[in-house]
Structure 1
Amino acid sequence: MFSKLAVKNVGRSFRDYGVYFLTVAFGVCLFYVFNALETQTVLQYLSGNQRQDLVDSIMRLIGMLSVFVWVVLAFLILYASGFLVRRRSRELGTYLLLGMERRQVAGLLLAETAFTALTALAVGLALGVVLSQALSVFTAGLFAVPQTAFRFSVSVPALVRTALAFVGIFLLVMVCHTLSLFRKRLIDLLRANRTNQELKARSLGASVALFLVGCALLGVAYAMLLIRGMLRVDALFWVMIGLGSLGTLLFFRGLSGFLLRLCQGSKKLYYKGLNLFILRQFNAGINTTYRSMTVICLMLLLAIGITATSVGLNNTVERMTEEAQPWSVELTVWPEEEGQAMDLPAALAERGFDPDRWCGPWAAFPLCRDSQGEFGLREADYAALESAWGTERAQAFLKHQGAEVLPNDDGGAYTAVLWHFLADYAGDPQGAEEAFLAAVSDLTNTGGYSYSTKQAAWMDLMGTKVLVLFIGLYLGVVFLVASAAVLALQQLSQAADSAGRYQILSRLGVSERDRGRSVDVQVFLAFFLPLALALIHAVVGMTAANEIIAQVGRVDVGASGAVTALLLVAVYGGYFLATCWGSRRMLRASA
């Protein structure tokens, strides 16, 4: 009987407060995906190319970041479960009134929590496994990793870590619920739904003034950011951050009055349908939630900015790779004695790396010093270099070496100082890389040598790309889920508090369809006003960031915009729809 009651309560609570279950499942899914990164195609590719040290560093950083994420999710789930129990205070008080002991009611809560935890873990882990594979395919394409490296995989260590992390959270939830139940008096539980928040009235003129001051402060903060840039972290930087935060707070504090004044200016709009009721409801709600809306707006800014920047930097890093290493391979050898002739192509061919087999265009030449002490590249060698790779790359080589173009014959002998071999791989780049590294490792009878390859440089910068992308997505989605969940729970709470008002509307003859629309409009305003301001913040911030990034490349606006929009639609839009559905159901049940 006891277990049947627990299961029945969980089912009813899920229908009424599906946002809670959605939040827990999202949290489990997210935690698994980013703790299972060792199964990602990109990291496996790096590991298979002798970059296990880089993979280990990425996983250690993700592990440390997961501790922060665990704390955020723990507070979020505690907040959500606390909301759920507060809405059921009268029900719990009724159990006590009917003769159940507090320990029995506490046991009922523990059973419900355990059932919810197991169900959310199962659903979240299943979604996490699927999403992990999708993320693997996405990142493999983003980093140009061969799709032959992809395979379906499930990370058992990540499953265990995720399960343990959320078992810990739910144990904490159980302890908090039990303590809360034993501290409250029976009368407090029974009267919980009748307790109203005290609303502090503010004149319409004052609200409009606060809104305009908030807009002015935001304008000043935007101007400072665009003029000063993002890299000057001094006293004025913190003034700019303070003005932006205060402007956001005043914007939401005065927003309800501003909208009210704006709509009252049009009598046709103000008195149409339930607009008067909706605006008054919104005004009453924002008077108590403007602080949380400010925090949510700033969290959305972080979510959008971090996600867009981490994805958009992909092309910038690729350009940095191209500039740092324009050739597939670059070998520099300095002879034991200056002036000594060297045949690098022949030396490499003897050791298994034949340029004619492994390479497309290639060139071997010395950098010389003439009788006047000028250091440079002979005109004939420069012409060959320019013919093979173009003027831009030839000039870049000279600039990098600090060399000049020397005449073919200046009437005196040239002394070879350094010998260079440059080439681009053809056909089988991986095989060519392995052959070159094997040949270079056996390169003897020289005074010394150094080499670099585009593949090695790509691996180094790919590690940076992986780190930036995964951490950006991890933090971005966490902030997005936290923002949407808090908004959803606030709106569900307000819908429950407004049930009596909607009962009066029903008695006055307002149809269920119109009542439902009024709920949807209020939820829409609560969700999309913070998002709209956060998007404006993000556009200004990204404009300033692009000015910095433009010095080395450009942000891939298309990719960053598409991924950010996809996350917003999937996560934020999902919470919005769930909140509308839950709020409508509450009001139908109370009618």
Structure 2
Amino acid sequence: MMLAKLAFGNMRKLLHDYAVYFLTLVLGVALFYAFNTVNVQGDFLRGDVGEMLGAAGQILDGVTVFLAVVLGFLMVYANNFLMRRRKKELGLYQVLGMRTGQVTVVLALETLLVAAISFGVGIALGALLSQVLLFVTARMFETTVQHFSFFFSADAFLLTLRCFGVIFAVMMVFNWLTLRRVRLIELMGAARHNERQFVRKLPFAVVLTVAGLALVGVAYVRLTRDGFPTSGSAESQNDFLITTAMVIVGTFVLFYGLAGALTALITHLRGFYWRDLHMFTTRQIASRVNTTALSMGVISLILFLAMTAMTTGMSICGTINSMTRQGIPYSASISVTPAGDSTDAIDLEAEVAKAGIDLSEVGRHASVRVALIESELRGDTSAYQRMSQLTGESVPKGYEHVVICEAVGISDYNAMRSLLGLEPVSLEDGHYLMLCNMDNAKGFVDEALEQGFTLDVDGVTLSPARATVIDDASAVLQDSAGGPTPGTYVVPDDVAKSISPEYSAVININIMYKGSTEEGDAALKGLEAALASNLDGRAAMVGVQTATDVLADGTSTTGLISYMAIYIGFVLVIACAAILAIQQLSAASDASASYRTLSELGCSERLIFGSLRTQVAMAFVLPLAVGMAHSLCALGAIDELVSVLGYSDMIGDMTLGLGLFALVYGGYLALTYRMAHGIVRSAVRTTRRAL
């Protein structure tokens, strides 16, 4: 009973001094539970979204395990950090007659109490959060909540219990090992032991800092030049691994030398160094960075991962949404790829009528035959490579292996333009037009067209009819999620008909509904299955895509990406901010005697709290600055990679991700300063009352 009371009293004291630690555990439990209720959320959303969320739940299970490992590592580190700060207290228990086993029991009871309270409060908060998250999910997937009622997910509860049960068990083991391995005299003298200084000589610290910056800088140059490996070759993947290793090693080397380098720099600014409490502040910051160099390196890398996940997730969603909007200029598209060599054996309009659908009743429509140019499909060099040779310009990054082999006749193309309400275009014999609506490629192709890039189709040489590409809605030949196209040729009708049928062409019917979208979609329901049955053996592929279906698929994809990006980012940022907060609160508590001495010497509270504010801010800003630098470099490469898809607005799309990041990280920074302020104020004002 006595041990239980002691454990409970210790927990109350720690809850007051390190409330941010308990807050992080509660938030971690709440987020783990809330985000893993995705399977249950699907029951309140429309059928297709519910099915997609059910499949996404399996992915989130794996993500949750990964995040549990990362969060567990950081929480165990935080727990060990607190244990080091409590060594004198634990030694005092033994001096007062408690056996090592009894102290171990006290620590175990403390951990169990922390686990029970944080888990219980976290689950309660998570249950409320999951109700709100349901409506956020509905907004992400552009649907509505149906028949809402309060829900609780047993699966999410058990998954969260398993993850945090392991974390708390590991904490207990580490607490026991810490107590068992340390002698009593070390426990009692822990308060007089200085933290280990990793770098003692300032010149060596400067060398380390320069070396770290050099490694990181070279890695940035390599990533900017080479980008992410997209070719799949072993060489590009090895280069990327080397770049990654340079960033990681450079980050740790930088933090190991940073404290000494900052001290050397500021001490040379004598007018600044000797004014107010700048000397004290500099030494305090240097001591803290030296003490936590390893953890700061880890935190900066995890912050880099969190920022990149949140901002990249939002950017990719913006790209996919843009692609989806570009890819659905028609109300619906019906397509068939004939089997065998004959491309004229299938009359798609007749087959649709045979399936019981009168297209004239559904809306206006136009047929288009998309032929494949064998010489372009099988050639040694692609059109983009030949354009590069002609103009001397490099092929846009990511387009090195793009093949442009599709061609449509001018009559079919003008029929599509008419369907879209666009003016027809003319094309003389011996010429061709180029369709291209990918932002990254249009300028490159325009330059080639201006210089007279020629096209050979079965021995017929065609020259460009205009010096610019056509990039309006007619560049999309059928509704699909992959709207942007790197290029399609529009050729004279006789050339289109003469293209060898060795590679089967695609026959499309594009439709613009004359009635409502719901009526049009309903009229085409079941058509794909009917066509596949009627064309069995004659068609290699049959598809019916409505703009509604394409938009729903795109929305589901972006919703899932946003969901995971926010989940990963929130958990990682909370974990990192919690570690920094605990370190600063511990440091403020340890330095309370120094602040008391400053106060006794007549130093004003304004200077004391200004010094404290600078120390806390620098502790949060230093790893954030390094992580942000890594993230900005990576985002540049990611933006280049994403823009290959046809569109990217990294700045516009990352706003929400950065806002969420700033809210969480800034909130922890403000909370940490307020709690550290209270610790220092108590020490300073207690002294003044004594005087």
TM-score, normalization by structure 2: 0.72
Q: CA deviation at 1:119?
A: 2.0
Tell me which amino acid in the other structure corresponds to 1:540: C
CA deviation vs aligned residue, 1:142-194 (integer Å, no higher than 9, x gap): 44334668776442321232234323432333344345435544333332222
Partner of 1:423: 511
Does residue 308 of structure 2 align to residue 300 of structure 1? no
Contact 2:30 2:122 (C-alpha < 8 Å) held by counterparts: yes
Q: How does 1:35-434 map to 2 (within 5 A)?
A: 35-40=36-41, 45=45, 48-49=47-48, 52=51, 54-146=52-144, 153-199=151-197, 202-231=200-229, 233-322=236-325, 326-332=329-335, 338=345, 342-343=349-350, 347=354, 350=356, 356=361, 359=363, 362-365=364-367, 367=369, 382-389=413-420, 390=422, 392-397=472-477, 404=491, 406=493, 420-425=508-513, 429=517, 432-434=520-522
CA deviation vs aligned residue, 1:91-142 (integer Å, no higher than 9, x gap): 3333333344444433333333222222212332233234434444444334
Contact 1:15 1:582 (C-alpha < 8 Å) held by counterparts: no
SS at match of 1:397: coil
Partner of 2:581: 488
Q: CA deviation at 1:308?
A: 0.6
User: CA 1:35–1:396 in structure 2 vs 1: closer, same or farther (change >3 Å)?
Assistant: closer
User: CA 1:118–1:434 in structure 2 vs 1: closer, same or farther (change >3 Å)?
Assistant: farther
Partners of 1:7 and 1:425 in 2: CA distance: 70
Contact 1:95 1:105 (C-alpha < 8 Å) held by counterparts: yes
Does residue 563 of structure 2 align to residue 470 of structure 1? yes
Partners of 2:347 and 2:660 in 1: CA distance: 62
After TM superposition, the structure 1 stretch with the greater mean CA deviation from structure 2, 63-72 or 459-468, is 459-468
User: CA 1:184–1:436 in structure 2 vs 1: closer, same or farther (change >3 Å)?
Assistant: same
User: CA 1:204–1:344 in structure 2 vs 1: closer, same or farther (change >3 Å)?
Assistant: same
Q: CA deviation at 1:24?
A: 0.9
User: CA 1:7–1:429 in structure 2 vs 1: closer, same or farther (change >3 Å)?
Assistant: farther
CA deviation vs aligned residue, 1:492-519 (integer Å, no higher than 9, x gap): 3333332332232232222444323322
Partner of 1:413: none
Partners of 2:649 and 2:370 in 1: CA distance: 42
Partner of 1:438: 526
Partners of 1:368 and 1:5 in 2: CA distance: 80
Tell me which amino acid in the other structure corresponds to 1:304: M
Partner of 1:519: 612
User: CA 1:102–1:472 in structure 2 vs 1: closer, same or farther (change >3 Å)?
Assistant: same
CA deviation vs aligned residue, 1:187-236 (integer Å, no higher than 9, x gap): 33332222222436644444344434433443332222222222263444
User: CA 1:387–1:150 in structure 2 vs 1: closer, same or farther (change >3 Å)?
Assistant: farther
Partners of 2:534 and 2:245 in 1: CA distance: 65
Partners of 1:378 and 1:151 in 2: CA distance: 56
Partner of 2:447: none
* Structure richer in helix, relative to its length: 1
User: CA 1:457–1:538 in structure 2 vs 1: closer, same or farther (change >3 Å)?
Assistant: same
CA deviation vs aligned residue, 1:51-107 (integer Å, no higher than 9, x gap): 73x544422222122222222222222222233333233333333333444444333
| Cα RMSD (Å) | 3.8
Partners of 2:346 and 2:125 in 1: CA distance: 67
User: CA 1:489–1:462 in structure 2 vs 1: closer, same or farther (change >3 Å)?
Assistant: same
User: CA 1:431–1:92 in structure 2 vs 1: closer, same or farther (change >3 Å)?
Assistant: farther
CA deviation vs aligned residue, 1:327-363 (integer Å, no higher than 9, x gap): 3422246799848695567556x45x7764x55xx31
Contact 1:214 1:247 (C-alpha < 8 Å) held by counterparts: yes
CA deviation vs aligned residue, 1:525-571 (integer Å, no higher than 9, x gap): 11101212222222222112211211113344356433332332332
SS at match of 1:421: strand
After TM superposition, the structure 1 stretch with the greater mean CA deviation from structure 2, 308-317 or 443-452, is 443-452
After TM superposition, the structure 1 stretch with the greater mean CA deviation from structure 2, 30-39 or 230-239, is 230-239
Tell me which amino acid in the other structure corresponds to 1:421: I
Partner of 2:543: 451
Contact 1:345 1:364 (C-alpha < 8 Å) held by counterparts: no
Q: CA deviation at 1:524?
A: 0.8
Partner of 1:501: 594
Partner of 2:439: none
CA deviation vs aligned residue, 1:31-55 (integer Å, no higher than 9, x gap): 11221122446x965x712873x54
Partners of 2:127 and 2:360 in 1: CA distance: 45
Partners of 2:61 and 2:195 in 1: CA distance: 42
Partners of 1:539 and 1:427 in 2: CA distance: 48
Contact 2:7 2:110 (C-alpha < 8 Å) held by counterparts: yes
Contact 1:300 1:534 (C-alpha < 8 Å) held by counterparts: yes
Does residue 641 of structure 2 align to residue 548 of structure 1? yes
Partner of 1:568: 661
Partners of 1:300 and 1:418 in 2: CA distance: 48
Contact 2:359 2:365 (C-alpha < 8 Å) held by counterparts: no
Partners of 1:477 and 1:395 in 2: CA distance: 40
Partners of 2:593 and 2:573 in 1: CA distance: 32
Partner of 1:414: none
Tell me which amino acid in the other structure corresponds to 2:301: L
SS at match of 2:510: strand
SS at match of 2:292: helix
CA deviation vs aligned residue, 1:251-272 (integer Å, no higher than 9, x gap): 3344334433443444442222
- How many residue pairs match? The answer is 570
Tell me which amino acid in the other structure corresponds to 1:406: D
Contact 1:345 1:355 (C-alpha < 8 Å) held by counterparts: no
Contact 1:301 1:538 (C-alpha < 8 Å) held by counterparts: yes
Partners of 1:184 and 1:212 in 2: CA distance: 38
SS at match of 1:49: helix
Partners of 1:200 and 1:157 in 2: CA distance: 46
TM-score, normalization by structure 1: 0.83
Q: CA deviation at 1:243?
A: 3.4
Partners of 1:340 and 1:537 in 2: CA distance: 56
- Identical amino acids, percent of aligned pairs: 32
CA deviation vs aligned residue, 1:301-349 (integer Å, no higher than 9, x gap): 111111110111112112343555543422246799848695567556x
Partners of 1:140 and 1:581 in 2: CA distance: 37
Partner of 2:688: none
Q: CA deviation at 1:5?
A: 3.9
Structure 2 gap segments, 5+ residues each: 231-235, 372-405, 425-471, 479-484, 498-504, 685-691
Tell me which amino acid in the other structure corresponds to 2:542: S
Tell me which amino acid in the other structure corresponds to 1:505: L
Structure 1 gap segments, 5+ residues each: 370-374, 411-416
Partners of 2:512 and 2:109 in 1: CA distance: 66
Tell me which amino acid in the other structure corresponds to 1:207: A
SS at match of 1:422: strand
